[in-house]
Structure 1
Amino acid sequence: MSNAIPQETIALILEVGAFEHGTTKITEETVGMLQKYMEIFVREAVLRSSVNKEQVKKEQDAVYGKREAKEVTLTHEDLENVTGLLLLDM
């Protein structure tokens, strides 16, 4: 998991943004589980965004005619388009 969010970062985010009391602690095992969960969530978001963008392109090609094949580039808007359903599914 070399590309994973560092456990220290996850723990700091929780301490700063989620815990109401300064004495609240989180175990290393729990941080590791959150790290894996976040990895799965991000992979699923990218996969769904890619599939959604390809579907939109197919629909546009059907309406406007076949266009030149282009490389698929995802933007923040592509991720925003799938976020709602992704969150509901998780």
Structure 2
Amino acid sequence: MSKKVTYHGRIHTSSDAIILLEACRLGLLPKLRQRLAEKERQLVKSGSVFVWDEHEAGMRRWTDGKLWSSSRVSGRFLIYHEMEGKHGRG
């Protein structure tokens, strides 16, 4: 499995998110460079955070084969919950 989770944990504040993005920009944490392959999708679980550059990775939307709820605003974040079921739209 070649790809890595950028971070594992919770992002509580905007400052947490900025620190994570800056660490990726500086090369201290890994960014996704392309979509996850089928076998790599097992990396997607509670607490897994993936960072990617839309243009660099050619990914505008996240797809992982799981079924996700509609987004909900929580402060300055959009929150999604994994839904019951085998496969989502992406």
TM class, shorter-length: under 0.3
TM-score, scaled relative to structure 2: 0.25
Larger radius of gyration: 1
User: Whose helix proportion is higher, 1 or 2?
Assistant: 1
TM-score, scaled relative to structure 1: 0.25
User: Whose strand proportion is higher, 1 or 2?
Assistant: 2
